[in-house]
Structure 1
Amino acid sequence: MVGHAGARLLADLADATGLTSAFSLALARLRQRRRDHEPGRIAVDLAVLLADGGEAIADLAVLRNQPALFGPVASDPTAWRLLSQLDATILAELRAARAQAREVAWAQHAETRGDFPQPTVAGQQVDGLVLDIDATIVICHSEKESATRTWKKTFGFHPLLCFLDNTGEALAGMLREGRAGSNTTTDHITVLDQALAQIPDAHRHGTPILLRADSAGSSHGFLAHIRGLRQQQVDIRFSVGAAITEPVRTAIQAATGWVPAIDTDGDLREHAEVCEITGSFDPAGWPEGTRFLVRRERPHPGAQLSLFDTIAGWRHQVVATDTPPGGGSIQHLEARHRAHARVEDRIRTGKNTGFGRFPSRIFAINQAWLQLALTGIDLLAWTRTLLLDGDLASTEPKKLRYQLLHVAARITRTARRTCLAIAANWPWTDALTSAFSKLAALPRPAG
């Protein structure tokens, strides 16, 4: 009998997408002796561990103690030693390996599932790729290198992350000290560039891309960088939160032409209105063609209001976007931006997939851990988009583990074949066996 039988699906998917071989090539020079564990396999095992819900390197014992299911798995000291060797150069090679595997996974999706998934907002499809950048605080309960006091007066790290809304893939992440600024231009540029490097060339240069961020992503230097990418044949546009300055506040007071806002189903939302205030104030520093949309709604209990909002009796939010007129109604553009809140769910589940706690006192090891956590998130996303159907194709990782990944099974051998026998009365046996069948049928990368 073996446990976590469904997690074998993740390990096999890493092989099918070429992730294991790409990691092995990137880490080949770290192997010292022929009998050593393959460094690429160790990295994949750690990513599978995190995708399966493990929280520490010691959790490798779940895989190691089931060699009939997972094969030979490195010891904890060997895994620690690998992480300690992953410097900035090797991490860049691992990111390139992830991009290579992603290109294969997307090609497999095109061949077996058809069109790439498109997110929907208020009942309408958003064409192209949608990238969401956001930062989060990871609290540390012990002294770790670069763990500092945060702007929320807690203690820990302040990583910046980028997710793909279409599939839930974790494109990029940067581990930062706790006191790192929320709107640091250079960090946003680095994470965006790393995220774009993860997108296959055919999509990066031939597909519209929307970058969403809260007001931390509205620095003029960052938006100028986005505009510069369009000169490199990257069709990218932005939708970011904007601060309500005194000129903006004056424009809001003078605004007319308010229309009802729409909710997530596309229906008109009561007590919420949207208006465009482009041209009502001097947009100095903003890229040419930036439009400004303002949303006002009656504040809900507990809402944090400025003095202006308290007096006006409305809660105001401003969105800046360079989507030109004709790209959708102002109601849809505003609702499209509010869907950026989905990244908070990605971060919440991501914290349960590796980057909610970091294992080492050494910052470089924790940086490597973050990259493997992002890899684990990708494995879960590819599992949902390539191998699952129905509700399971959109379920959160916790439920996926509970229903599929942690299932027990029996390994049987007959007629020189090894089989994994799952209880027939388990409610999700058919879904798991179907996933294994789809995995076996995936086209494999050449070489």
Structure 2
Amino acid sequence: MQVSHSPAAVSAAFDAPNLIAHAGLVPLMRLAERCGLPHLVAENVKLTGVKNGAGASADAKVTSIVGGMAAGADSIDDLDLLRHGAMPALFGGIRAPSTLGTFLRSFTHGHALQLHAVHRKFLAGLAARAPLLPGAGEVAFIDVDSTHKRVYGRGKQGAEYGRFKGIRTLHPLLATVCTPIARPVIAGVRLRRGKSADSRGAPTFVSEALATAARAGCTGIRILRADSQFYNAGVVAACLRAGARFSLTTGMNPSVKRAIHTIPNSDWQHISYPTAVPDPETGELISDAEVAEIPAYTAFTGHKKSEQVTARLIVRRVRDLAKPPVQGEQGELFPVWRYHPFFTDSPFETLQAEQHHRHHAVIEQVIADGKAGPLAHLPSGHFNANAAWLTLWAMTYNLLRAAGALASHFHAKATTATLRTHLIHVPARIARSARRIALHLPHNWPWQHGWTHLFDTVHGPPEPV
């Protein structure tokens, strides 16, 4: 592709008052309104006693931040992209970045908890209006994981040298909900200090995530999946109290090693993966493995009797390519094979339960999505401001997923970056006639049908919820 005119024949000027760069925000924010976001914020977030009036009009400020994040803002200053061209003719209550920064810095821990409540209720509203989680009436998976986000500046509250030597981080905790045929949505987020243990506060967080999943329409089997940092009695007890199942990586502790040693060679079933999967320890691609099960393994034997749980221990083993096979009956069992066990009460048969557990890695896509967008920065020096920013990103992520589900089957499984490109970053010219506004969009827009279906759906008569 080449520019069709010479440099001297091309000029540019930012002087068109009737243009907007992000016409997709019109149906997106209409969807947020129909799902009650402004009302939920006004009802739940009470920033009383805050100086300089920063707590006033919390609903307008939250929706401004959500709209900015949906358009691609990854810092407070970037939220200024909402104030261009004819945006004020389409949206009311747009706030300046300085106002939004003051609003976020006014948050306390209690206000952050209020925003968490908005997030949970908003997800339930989105799930009621859009096919976010098809198949959730049969089975849904709740994935929990943590991540470290590198931050800079010694004045940033909560930033500490944690897992990575010489790197200051904050330590978000996430829970997502998905089904075998749906991309994940975010059920909950928490921001912790950089040195916080991965499982700190996990039982309470898991209870909230399971309750949120139920409110979002997950009425069938709910299975919590997590890695070995969350293998503890508190997390399992939270699942049992909520009537949910669990599937937790155990790690190779002495009790698990002894249990694996008792598995007869005849019990191992060969499994071939249609697509190679990365080994969690070495990163090498694995196409073949063997799986076996211990039907009754009692975990947490060091706890009192009421906290001990008996369930299935399913083990996947792959040959350690760094060591040659050992001759003999048992040989060097653990040097020759590498084992990946997980503890579960899944109702599915062994190979299917192993496949489900391996798909826990889908939460990493959500984490990567956030770090490529609004979580590229945790923009404030105030810890609670960053906690609010994290929650607002989760709300924006779910809103974009709902918009994609309403647009088309393709967009229901598209990444957030694709949703922005296809549905949000659409330029438009505004025309007025008889007190009505018309959006004139680019001719031959490749994703016109999906955008139009989204627009017509959210602007048509509301369907009963």
TM-score interval w.r.t. the shorter chain?
0.7 to 0.9
Aligned equivalents of 2:299 and 2:413: distance in 1? 44
Equivalent residue for 2:194?
178
Aligned equivalents of 1:35 and 1:241: distance in 2? 45
Task: Select which of 328, 341, 352 maps to 1:318.
Answer: 341
Asked if 1 retains the 8 angstrom alpha-carbon contact of 2:42 and 2:58, the reply is yes
Equivalent residue for 1:356?
376
Q: More deviation in 132-141 or 395-404?
A: 395-404
Asked if 1 retains the 8 angstrom alpha-carbon contact of 2:248 and 2:342, the reply is yes
- Equivalent positions of 1:247-258 (< 5 A) are 247-256=255-264, 257-258=267-268
TM-score of the superposition, structure 1-length normalised? Answer: 0.84
Equivalent residue for 1:151?
163
- SS of corresponding position for 1:404: helix
Aligned equivalents of 1:292 and 1:251: distance in 2? 9
Equivalent residue for 1:339?
359
Quick check: 1:407 aligned with 2:417? no
Deviation by residue 1:189-209 (Cα, 9 ceiling, x = unmatched): 2322332343455847x5321
Deviation by residue 1:218-265 (Cα, 9 ceiling, x = unmatched): 0122222322x1xxxx32110010021234223323422100225367
Q: More deviation in 364-373 or 245-254?
A: 245-254
Q: CA deviation at 1:55?
A: 0.8
- SS of corresponding position for 2:141: strand
Residue identity matched to 1:259: Q
Q: CA deviation at 1:13?
A: 1.3
Aligned equivalents of 2:256 and 2:44: distance in 1? 50
Task: Select which of 74, 99, 117 maps to 1:96.
Answer: 117
Q: CA deviation at 1:37?
A: 6.9
Assess, with a 3 A threshold, how the Cα gap between structure 1 residues 333 and 100 changes in structure 2: closer, same or farther.
Answer: same
Q: Which runs of 5+ in 2 are unaligned?
A: 1-18, 277-285, 323-330
Task: Select which of 196, 201, 204 maps to 1:190.
Answer: 204
Assess, with a 3 A threshold, how the Cα gap between structure 1 residues 356 and 379 changes in structure 2: closer, same or farther.
Answer: same
- SS of corresponding position for 1:374: helix
Assess, with a 3 A threshold, how the Cα gap between structure 1 residues 34 and 298 changes in structure 2: closer, same or farther.
Answer: closer
Q: More deviation in 276-285 or 290-299?
A: 276-285
Asked if 2 retains the 8 angstrom alpha-carbon contact of 1:384 and 1:393, the reply is yes
Deviation by residue 1:269-326 (Cα, 9 ceiling, x = unmatched): 853010013457876257433210110123579xxxxxx9996433210010022xxx
Equivalent residue for 1:305?
none
Asked if 1 retains the 8 angstrom alpha-carbon contact of 2:47 and 2:111, the reply is no
Number of corresponding residues: 417
Quick check: 1:21 aligned with 2:39? yes
Q: CA deviation at 1:10?
A: 2.2
- Identity across the alignment (%): 27
Asked if 1 retains the 8 angstrom alpha-carbon contact of 2:170 and 2:193, the reply is yes
- SS of corresponding position for 1:372: helix
Task: Select which of 368, 387, 394 maps to 1:367.
Answer: 387
Q: CA deviation at 1:100?
A: 2.8
Deviation by residue 1:50-106 (Cα, 9 ceiling, x = unmatched): 232211111121112231233341112211221122223333332223333333322
Quick check: 1:437 aligned with 2:456? yes
Asked if 2 retains the 8 angstrom alpha-carbon contact of 1:251 and 1:281, the reply is no
Aligned equivalents of 2:199 and 2:46: distance in 1? 38
Asked if 2 retains the 8 angstrom alpha-carbon contact of 1:25 and 1:40, the reply is no
Q: More deviation in 248-257 or 74-83?
A: 248-257
Q: CA deviation at 1:352?
A: 2.8
Residue identity matched to 2:444: N
- SS of corresponding position for 1:277: strand
Task: Select which of 441, 445, 449 maps to 1:422.
Answer: 441
Task: Select which of 143, 150, 155 maps to 1:139.
Answer: 150
Aligned equivalents of 1:280 and 1:259: distance in 2? 19
Assess, with a 3 A threshold, how the Cα gap between structure 1 residues 7 and 298 changes in structure 2: closer, same or farther.
Answer: farther
Q: CA deviation at 1:392?
A: 1.4
Asked if 2 retains the 8 angstrom alpha-carbon contact of 1:99 and 1:197, the reply is no
Equivalent residue for 1:213?
226
- SS of corresponding position for 2:372: helix
Q: CA deviation at 1:361?
A: 1.0
- SS of corresponding position for 1:175: strand
Task: Select which of 315, 318, 321 maps to 1:297.
Answer: 318
Asked if 2 retains the 8 angstrom alpha-carbon contact of 1:99 and 1:200, the reply is no
TM-score of the superposition, structure 2-length normalised? Answer: 0.81
Asked if 1 retains the 8 angstrom alpha-carbon contact of 2:41 and 2:118, the reply is yes
Quick check: 1:263 aligned with 2:273? yes
Q: CA deviation at 1:397?
A: 0.6
Rg (Cα) greater in structure: 2
Equivalent residue for 1:236?
244
Going by fraction, where is strand more abundant, 1 or 2? 2
Quick check: 1:54 aligned with 2:62? no
Aligned equivalents of 1:345 and 1:40: distance in 2? 30
